[in-house]
Amino acid sequence: MKFIDIANPGVRQLSPYQAGKPIEELERELGISNIVKLASNENPFGFPESAKQAIREQLNDLTRYPDANGFELKLTIAQKFGLKPEQITLGNGSNDLLEITAHTFLNATDEVIFSQYTFIVYPLVSQAINAKAVIVPAKDYGHDLNGFLAAITEKTKVIYLANPNNPTGTFLTAEQIEAFLAQVPEHILVILDEAYTEFTSVNERVPSFNLLQKFPNLVVCRTLSKAYGLAGLRIGYMVSAPEVADLCNRVRQPFNCNSLALAAAVAVINDDDFIEKVADNNRQGLRQLETFFQQKGLDYVPSKGNFITLDLKQPAAPIYQKLLENGVIVRPIAGYGLPNHLRISIGLPEENQRFIDTLSLVLEL
Ligand SMILES: *Cc1c(COP(=O)(O)O)cnc(C)c1O
């Protein structure tokens, strides 16, 4: 029996997700310690004390199921951003929310549009239900919004847009997003994935929640995995028209967010000092790497995220391997169609320096 033959056709064509290499795995393989991981856009500061405290308190009650409605977290998010709790759907990380939107809205005959060189979870969640992916060629590594508009057909139901984009770090301005939304037919959902929005400066940030009133087909996804440092807990939230949230909340597993994650999220959502510290460090780290790349004449894609993509102009795999052997884990992105590139997450200054020194060694710069 070949189980591949009975699998859903969309699933048969999927390649497994390639996660960043865990530190423990490299330690086991090489028998070395002092490893720096700059591979999964994780927060180099860890997570804030406010969350630790909330988790400690919640540890006393893991017997009961979590609150299936996430009442307190939705209220906290709603108050923070001037929203209504009915507009919010909570997810086990925002990947869960991307999957929930696909399950809620897509059928096998529908089309979903996203860019070349964008987050791999979009094809993953839509292909698994046999929806047809329409991939718009990237422009300067980023989203070509006119290309998106041209790709719309009567079968289009969902558009995924990552802003800033992963893995390239490109960014669409508020004006570009608004002009785009104004041209997308109202019955097509635009899922704006803002996993990295906290790293952008306040004056350039897209006021996406304000756009919801004007564009009821807009859906905004956020995560606590990146700037808030809670990737291991798995928690994200999605803001939309209440009608969209109602449908998504029907599809979502009732207990998709665990009680530790809910409690920690309530504690960190208002921790603006932590986010500011994280975003500041990130801006400095980006500058540190950009300066190095410029000095050495290396090509990179300017980034608004907590990572930066380097074009090595040669196959990146052997260089990735040599970096590993020297205890530095970065992310090869051949799976995204960028075999000459590496994505480096921004770390603490000394971690960035370790990458700089190791890459200089490996490339003999
Ligand atoms: C990291 C990331 C996410 C968030 O994933 P979680 O499931 O919330 O950890 C979502 N979208 C993009 C583009 C990302 O890079």
Mean pLDDT for back-to-back runs of 10 residues, the chain (365 residues): 86 83 91 93 94 95 95 98 98 98 95 97 92 96 98 98 98 98 98 98 94 97 98 98 97 96 97 96 98 98 98 98 96 96 98 98 95
Q: Which residues of 207-246 are buried (b: 16+ CB within 10 A; e: fewer)?
A: ebbebbeebebbbbbbbbbbbbbbbebbbbbbbbbeebbe
CATH class of domain segment(s) 49-270: alpha beta
Ligand 1 proximity of 162 Cβ (cutoff 6 Å): yes
Ligand 1 proximity of 231 Cβ (cutoff 6 Å): yes
Ligand 1 proximity of 89 Cβ (cutoff 6 Å): no
Ligand 1 proximity of 166 Cβ (cutoff 6 Å): yes
Ligand 1 proximity of 194 Cβ (cutoff 6 Å): no
Do you know the residue count of the chain?
A: 365
- Cβ(201)–Cβ(210) below 8 Å: no
- Domain 3-46+273-363 and domain 49-270 have a common topology: no
Q: What is the pTM of this model?
A: 0.96
Pocket test residue of 143, 223, 258, 307 for ligand 1, highest count of atoms within 8 A of CB = 223
**Distance (Å, rounded) from C-alpha 169 to C-alpha 149?**
22
> In the 3-class helix/strand/coil scheme, how is 291-312 assigned residue by residue?
HHHHHHCCEEECCCCCEEEEEC
pLDDT of residue 19: 85
In the chain, where are the structural domains located?
A: 3-46+273-363, 49-270
- Cβ(57)–Cβ(213) below 8 Å: no
Q: What number does the ligand 1 atom closest to the CA of 226 have? A: 1
Ligand 1 proximity of 223 Cβ (cutoff 6 Å): yes
Ligand 1 proximity of 195 Cβ (cutoff 6 Å): yes
Q: What number does the ligand 1 atom closest to the CA of 167 have? A: 15
**Distance (Å, rounded) from C-alpha 211 to C-alpha 30?**
50
Can you say whether residue 7 is alpha, beta or left, with left for phi > 0 and alpha for psi between -120 and 50 degrees? beta
Tell which CATH classification among 3.50.50.60, 3.20.20.120, 3.40.50.970, 3.90.1150.10 matches the domain 3-46+273-363.
Answer: 3.90.1150.10
Question: What CA dihedral angle connects 56, 58, 60 and 65, to 10 degrees?
Answer: -150
| Of 223, 224, 116, the residue nearest 161 (C-alpha) | 116
| DSSP assignment of 183-216 | HS-TTSEEEEE-TTGGGS-TTTS--HHHHHHH-T
> In angstroms, what is the C-alpha Rg of the chain?
20
pLDDT of residue 14: 84
Q: What number does the ligand 1 atom closest to the CA of 305 have? A: 15
**Distance (Å, rounded) from C-alpha 200 to C-alpha 227?**
11
- Cβ(164)–Cβ(171) below 8 Å: yes
Residue identifier of the C-alpha nearest atom 11 of ligand 1: 195
Q: Which amino acid is at 324?
A: L
**Distance (Å, rounded) from C-alpha 351 to C-alpha 344?**
11
pLDDT of residue 78: 98
**Distance (Å, rounded) from C-alpha 362 to C-alpha 247?**
51
Residue identifier of the C-alpha nearest atom 4 of ligand 1: 94
Pocket test residue of 47, 124, 193 for ligand 1, highest count of atoms within 8 A of CB = 193
Q: What number does the ligand 1 atom closest to the CA of 225 have? A: 9
pLDDT of residue 2: 87
Q: What angle do CA 12, 15, 16 make, to 5 degrees?
A: 115
Ligand 1 proximity of 309 Cβ (cutoff 6 Å): no
Pairing of strands 132-136, 111-115: parallel
Alpha helices in the chain (DSSP H): 3-6, 9-12, 23-30, 49-58, 71-81, 94-105, 121-127, 145-151, 174-183, 208-214, 242-251, 259-268, 272-296, 317-325, 349-363
pLDDT of residue 48: 92
Pocket test residue of 89, 97, 100, 119 for ligand 1, highest count of atoms within 8 A of CB = 119
Residue identifier of the C-alpha nearest atom 14 of ligand 1: 195
Cα–ligand 1 centroid distance for 95 (angstroms): 6
pLDDT of residue 331: 97
Copy the structure tokens of residue 93: 């990380």
